[in-house]
Amino acid sequence: DGGITQSPKYLFRKEGQNVTLSCEQNLNHDAMYWYRQDPGQGLRLIYYSQIVNDFQKGDIAEGYSVSREKKESFPLTVTSAQKNPTAFYLCASSITTGASGTQYFGPGTRLLVL
């Protein structure tokens, strides 16, 4: 059945380490997104991608990087430059970046710093 998968469910990062969060979708959606959720806050956009091999910075891109080599995959790397990485990370996809492109979310990855 179609959906969005994120792995791992929990991820631990050591100081100075880069870690990569996986996001895969089999919905044949063109657009994919990464959000971050902190306690008591809404979701904030980190990066988004409208098509393969293209991506744009969101509102809080500093300390993160992405790639979009395949339509189905949009991995997010949390680099050592991200000073406050502890958060719940959500990946989403939508059928279009135009009108009525409702976004559908994966189950999320919780990143914790050791």
Partner 1 sequence: DQQVKQNSPSLSVQEGRISILNCDYTNSMFDYFLWYKKYPAEGPTFLISISSIKDKNEDGRFTVFLNKSAKHLSLHIVPSQPGDSAVYFCAASALGGGATNKLIFGTGTLLAVQP
Least Cβ distance, residue 52 to partner 1 (angstroms): 16
DSSP-assigned letter for residue 70: B
16 binds partner 1, rule: CB under 8 A = no
Contacts with partner 1 in 47-106 (CB under 8 A)?
A: 48, 50, 56, 58, 88, 90, 92, 94, 96-106
| Beta strands in the chain, from DSSP E residues, in sequence order | 4-7, 10-13, 19-25, 31-37, 43-49, 56-57, 64-66, 76-78, 87-94, 104-105, 109-113
d(CA 23, CA 91): 6
User: What's the token pair of residue 16?
Assistant: 């100075």
Site stretch for partner 1 (CB under 8 A), options 14-22, 35-43, 62-70, 77-85? 35-43
- Interface residues with partner 1 (CB under 8 A) are 4, 6, 31, 35, 40-45, 48, 50, 56, 58, 88, 90, 92, 94, 96-108, 110
